[in-house]
Structures are given as structure tokens and as C-alpha cells.
Amino acid sequence: MPNRLAHETSPYLLQHADNPVDWWPWSQEAFDEARRRQVPVLLSVGYASCHWCHVMAHESFEDRATADELNAHFVNIKVDREERPDVDAVYMEAVQAATGQGGWPMTVFLTPDAEPFYFGTYFPPAPRHGMPSFRQVLQGVHQAWDERRDEVDEVAGKIARDLAGREISYGDDQVPGEQELAQALLGLTREYDPQRGGFGGAPKFPPSMVIEFLLRHHARTGAEGALQMAQDTCERMARGGIYDQLGGGFARYSVDRDWVVPHFEKMLYDNALLCRAYAHLWRTTGSQLARRVALETADFMVRELGTAEGGFASALDADSDDGTGRHVEGAYYVWTPAQLREVLGEEDADLAVRYFGVTEEGSFEEGASVLQLPQRDEVFDAGRIDGIKERLLAARSARPAPGRDDKVVAAWNGLAIAALAETGAYFDRPDLVEAAVAAGDLLVRLHLDDQARIARTSKDGRVGANAGVLEDYADVAEGFLALASVTGEGVWLEFAGLLLDHVLARFTDAGSGALYDTASDAERLIRRPQDPTDNAAPSGWTAAAGALLSYAAHTGSEPHRTAAERALGVVKALGPRVPRFIGWGLAVAEAVLDGPREVAVVGPALDDPSTAILHRTALLGAAPGAVVAVGTPESDEFPLLADRPLVRGGPAAYVCRNFTCDAPTADPDGLRVALGG
């Protein structure tokens, strides 16, 4: 019989709806039940595409004896970290403080007052590698609760007080200047891997936000070293196994330093950020590799993550059936020489083996290889290679596919909207712009209420109950601002402004300008989460700073500009020390130092060919954080277009900073130069 999770919208929670564990969703009712029974709470946090979450579920939560023990002695709460990033952030901070590490599944034991007192991540079903079994942990916690309750309450209270007392080291209210950005670049240079690209060792994550900073820093200063790090890293990733050489799109990270073997799950946020980064790299360098990867990644998002309602699903699992009934990580993606011969025949298989770096020994497990592009010098017949890719992709599509987490997360859809809108505009792909508009329409129609408060998730057209957090407001605003610039439809600027008004009113500390991840009227946890550092995606803090700055450039709003600059004080403090973990904040700081530039393109009509050329030229300008408005002189949708007449009856572009403009130009080459091209 299904448990309470059967009524949820989260695919992760629904995966546990048939467990024998008597799960509760995160709710006050669950804590009330723990208080009534005078038992502790087991909090288990994970997400649908998490490999070890699946493992622990199969080993422990599907086991009747373990479930009986859980049900007898605990109230059991299951949380999807992607639906409730605030709950995840608060208790992950406790796990990391107590154990020195974190990860998912996250396993935390709480008092009925939600105060944590024992922590862990994955626990095996039997003792292993120095770890106790999960049932040993349950028995130990139950015994401590029954026999040493005062001690447990004392520990829990101390941990809760310590967490509640933590505050961000804010720095000051000045934006990073030349010195701090130069120090950040130097710090990145020290951590850069010149042989393999990227930063640090294994596991190696795609540094999309750092790439954006490097490209903007190069655009503003001409620093060739910054461009070289971005370019080489992008090439190494695109040639590695982290990139899907057949279907496009990036896996979550590489388990090795060489980008060869990925953790195979594919996340919407990674692909949105990397699609945009590669498009911006092409904009800067004209690299055909960057162009191909940007377009293939955009097509992957639309093809494999697009939902029937017009949004984008969260993720594809790492695991799938290997054809024998086993659920195996990477089974969908890897190949042996024998499998290539079966699909391609001997001659084409020999070519594919060389082209994709497939060996008899394999680069993965059981003699299978992850497809790469290792041959830099050998020249291949492009038409023949394309045919081989098509045949392999068709054969792969017949394999059991990885599961898909179908929930639509507002923030990640905002990132996808920005990426698809810009990529479509750069490469004359109106279908990609249309996909971005459809996702924007879904967010407005389903996720926004009549006060422009945003819901975090939806699934199958049903909106979830969880309130949006800071990154939802900021990233959706970022996507809407990109749509405004690309489509020339001012309604997107209006919607962005409504979202950012909430950021100013409900997420910002009026005294310091610091930002919180949850709204002032959100559910109270033991700590109000607050983190300016980037993780897998831009932090809500730095994403908000970027969107506020762009909106201010569009509208001249001083409160939004001031809020953006005050938020960047933390980047001034952290950028020189930990530049890898605040890349988007550094990218926003580059935009502040450059202006950012405001480009108004006016023409007799939006479909006028000469106006369209100027508009596209403006969008292709590499000036950091530049905003673009396009319309007719009569348009009142964009403040940037006010008092911007045609020139001799024809289209013109005005390049401005702080609403002070250079002389208008009708020459695309002149506009390109004015924008750093």
C-alpha cells in the first residue's frame, strides 16, 4: 500500500511511495507526530537522479525488516533537495560541520523541534570500510534517545544554536575593483590544470561560471591568459567523455582529471550554463567547436529534457538497464569494439574506434569505453563521421533509456531560457528562441501567482506547494531579461521587474544589503540559509546581483543598481580568496566595471532587415553584461528607447553607459567596434 508520498509531485518522493517505510513529506504535521510519540525524526534527503540515493533505497528503504525498525522508533521524513533547497542547505551545513564532508543521500536525525543531533550520508546494509550498517546506526540512535535523552537534547540544542548564530562574512558595500579581479585571475591561474584544462583535481566539475568570468575579463581588459584558460578548458571538455559525443549535452562531472569517465547523470542546470558559455566563447573567438557544442547542447535540452507543457525537466539518471535486467551506471552511453562492429560493420567500426578512442581494454567498466575525441591531428571524412554518429545514435536509442526527473524547477528553467534565447539569436535558430519563449510562458502561466510570487516546481502541469527561493527569482529574471533583449518584447522586462521587486522587498537585508536564500515570510527553519558561493549553479546571491544590475541598466532604476553593487561586497571579500567558487559574482563585477553598456536599437519596424542586422550585431557584442533593447521610436516598452529617433529615416544603434550615449550609428561594423568586437 502506498505511503503518504504518493500524493507528492516530486519524482524523487514518488520513487519512495511504495516503500514499506512510513514516509512523511517535510511538514509540521510530521514533527507534531514525532512530538506526540516522543520519538526522533529520521530526515533523508536526496534527489531523483542520485545514484547512491537509489542504492540506499534498494538496500534499506525497500527492506521490510529495516522499515519495521524505522516505523517503530522514528518519524521518517523524505525530502527532495531540489524541491526544498533551503532544508537541504541548513542540514547539509550541519553534516559538513560535524563530519567534514557532505553528499547525498543525506541522513540526519532530529529532535521533534527539528534540531539535528546525529549525521551521515550513505549507510550500507552491512558494516563496510569502517562504516556501520544502517540498522546499527538506527539501533544506536534509538538507544541513545531512550537512555541518554538529556544528553541528546543538549547536543541538539548546541548544534542548533551554533548554526543559527552563523553569519556571512560580508566584507563591505563596495564592488570589487581592478585589484580584486586581478587577484582572482591570479588565483585561478594557480589552480588551473594546463595539461588537461579545468581547475583542481579529480573529481573535476565543468567550471561554467568561471568561464563566463574569464571571457568577460578578456573582453574588458584584453587579457590573453584569461581567454586561453577558457578556450582550452572548453576544448578539453568537448573532446572528453563528459560530453556526449553522439547526442550532445554534458554529464554532471568527470571522476578523473582528464574528463574521460563521467558521472553519467545529465542535469538541466549544467547544460543550460554550458550551452551559454560555449555560445559566448564562439561569440568571442569564432570557434567552430564552440559553435557545434552550443548548438548540440541546446538541441539536447529541447529534445531530451523538454516537457509537454513547454518547460524543461530537471535531469536524466546516470543508471539504466544494461539489457540483462541490471541497473548499471553509464550502460546507455558506453561501447565496446564488438558493439561498434555489430552496428557499423568492420570498416566503419575501425574508423569509429580511432575517432572515438574506443579500445579493447576500455576506459570504463567491463571493457566498455566512454566515447571521446582524442585524435587532434588525424583528419577524418566529416560526412562519413556524421553518418557513423547517426547510426550509433539510432542504435543507442533502442537501448533502455535512463530515467528522467520530469519536475520543472523554476530557477533551472530560467537558466535554460537565457541559454536558448541567446543561442537561437546568435546562430539564426528561431526554433530555439521559440522553445525559450514557451518555457517563459509556462513559468508565467503556472509558476507565478497574481502577486508575481514564484513556485519552485511543477510536474505534468501541476504546480508544487513549495515556495520559490532566491535563485528562482534571480535566475528566472535573468532568463526573462535575455528574452526581452532577443525578442524585443517588453513584457519580459516587466515580468523580470516584478520578480526583482520581490528580491528587494523579501530577500534583502535592508541594513547590510546581504541576501538570504529564503524570503522573509518563508517557513522558519533553525537557520535562515544564506550562501553567496557558487555550487553547481550560480548562488542565488550572485544571480540576483547580476539580474538586478541588468534590470537597472535597462530601466535606470537606482534602487536596483544600488542593491546589485551592495550585494557584490561579498565578492570583493571572497573573489581573491576562492575565485573558483564565486565565478558568477566575478562575472557580474566585470559588468559593473564596464558599465554595463546599454544598447538601444531603433528601426522603422522590428522585421526591417537593416534593423535586424543591427539588433543581431548588438546581441553579439562581447562587452561584459551589455543589455540590448530593440523597437521603434514610438515603442514605450523599453526605457532605453525613449528619445532615440531614427537617423535619416533609417535604423540606428545607440551605445550608452549610465544612460549617457555615444553618437548613434547605422553601421554594423561601427557598432561592433563600440561593443568591443
pLDDT at res. 274: 98
Average pLDDT, the chain: 94
| 380 within domain boundaries | yes
pLDDT in tens, 272-285: 999 999 999 999 99
Residues 533 and 631 in one domain: no
Q: Dihedral of the CA atoms 266, 272, 275, 279 (nearest 10)?
A: -170
Q: What is the DSSP string of 521-583?
A: TSPP-SS-----S-SSS--HHHHHHHHHHHHHHHH--HHHHHHHHHHTHHHHHHTTT-GGG-H
| 327 within domain boundaries | no
Q: Is the pLDDT of residue 347 over 80?
A: yes
Helix axes 85-99, 149-164, angle to 10 degrees: 110
| 22 within domain boundaries | yes
Residues whose CB falls within 8 Å of the CB of residue 517, separated by 6 or more in sequence, listed in order: 85, 86, 89, 469, 470, 471, 507, 528, 529, 530, 531, 540, 541
Helix H or strand E segment including 119: strand 116-120
Band of pLDDT at residue 325, cut at 50, 70 and 90 = confident
3-class DSSP state for residue 465? coil
Cell numbers of 196, please?
A: 588537461
Q: How many Å apart are CA 30 and CA 90, to the nearest integer?
A: 18
| 182 within domain boundaries | no
Tell me the one-letter amino acid at 246: L
Q: Is the pLDDT of residue 413 over 90?
A: yes
Q: Enumerate the β-bridge partners of residue 46.
A: 80
Query: Helix %, strand %, coil % for the chain, to 5?
Result: 50, 15, 35
Chosen domain end from 356, 377, 398: 398
| 72 within domain boundaries | yes
| 298 within domain boundaries | yes
Q: Is the pLDDT of residue 1 over 70?
A: no
| 538 within domain boundaries | yes
Residues 421 and 473 in one domain: yes
Q: How many Å apart are CA 211 and CA 371, to the nearest integer?
A: 24
Band of pLDDT at residue 317, cut at 50, 70 and 90 = very high
pLDDT at res. 377: 65
pLDDT greater at residue 192 or residue 323: 192
Residues 612 and 573 in one domain: no
pLDDT at res. 631: 96
pLDDT at res. 170: 59
Tell me the one-letter amino acid at 655: V
Helix H or strand E segment including 390: helix 382-397
Count structural domains, the chain.
Answer: 4
Q: Is 574 exposed, middle or buried (0-12, 13-18, 19+ CB in 10 A)?
A: buried
Q: How many Å apart are CA 549 and CA 591, to the nearest integer?
A: 8
| 654 within domain boundaries | yes
Domain of 151: which CATH number? 3.40.30.10
Residues 419 and 293 in one domain: yes
The pLDDT of 60-88, averaged and rounded, is 95
Report the largest interatomic distance among the alpha carbons of the chain, rounded to a whole angstrom: 88
Q: Enumerate the β-bridge partners of residue 508.
A: 515
Residues 540 and 495 in one domain: yes
| Segments forming the whole domain that contains residue 264 | 194-317+405-594
3-class DSSP state for residue 344? helix
pLDDT greater at residue 676 or residue 636: 636
Q: How many Å apart are CA 29 and CA 24, to the nearest integer?
A: 9
Residues 199 and 55 in one domain: no
Helix H or strand E segment including 408: strand 408-409
Residues 221 and 91 in one domain: no
Q: Is the pLDDT of residue 168 over 70?
A: no
Q: Dihedral of the CA atoms 348, 298, 12, 440 (nearest 10)?
A: -160
Phi-psi domain of 66 (left: phi exceeds 0; alpha: psi -120 through 50; beta: other): alpha
Q: Is 129 exposed, middle or buried (0-12, 13-18, 19+ CB in 10 A)?
A: exposed
The pLDDT of 643-667, averaged and rounded, is 91
What are the C-alpha distances in Å from 102 to residues 88, 96, 120, 540? 11, 5, 8, 20
Q: How many Å apart are CA 480 and CA 475, to the nearest integer?
A: 9
Q: Are strands 327-329 and 319-321 parallel, antiparallel or unpaired?
A: antiparallel
Chosen domain end from 147, 164, 181: 164
Residues 647 and 507 in one domain: no
The pLDDT of 157-182, averaged and rounded, is 79
The pLDDT of 527-536, averaged and rounded, is 92
Residues 418 and 562 in one domain: yes
- This prediction has a pTM of 0.94
pLDDT at res. 327: 82
Band of pLDDT at residue 676, cut at 50, 70 and 90 = confident
Other C-beta atoms closer than 10 Å to the C-beta of 637 total 18
Residues 348 and 297 in one domain: no
pLDDT in tens, 536-556: 999 999 999 999 999 999 999
Asked if 118 and 58 count as a contact pair (C-beta separation under 8 A), the reply is no
Cα dihedral sign, 37-38-39-43: positive
Chosen domain end from 564, 594, 624: 594
Tell me the one-letter amino acid at 667: D
Q: Is the pLDDT of residue 72 over 70?
A: yes
Nearest alpha-carbon partner for 212 in 546, 531, 492, 552:
546
Band of pLDDT at residue 313, cut at 50, 70 and 90 = very high
Residues 576 and 491 in one domain: yes
pLDDT in tens, 427-457: 999 999 999 999 999 999 999 999 999 999 9
Tell me the one-letter amino acid at 382: A
pLDDT at res. 237: 98
Residue 263 CA to its chain's centroid (Å): 16
Residues whose CB falls within 8 Å of the CB of residue 445, separated by 6 or more in sequence, listed in order: none
Asked if 274 and 262 count as a contact pair (C-beta separation under 8 A), the reply is no
Residues 458 and 491 in one domain: yes
pLDDT at res. 50: 85
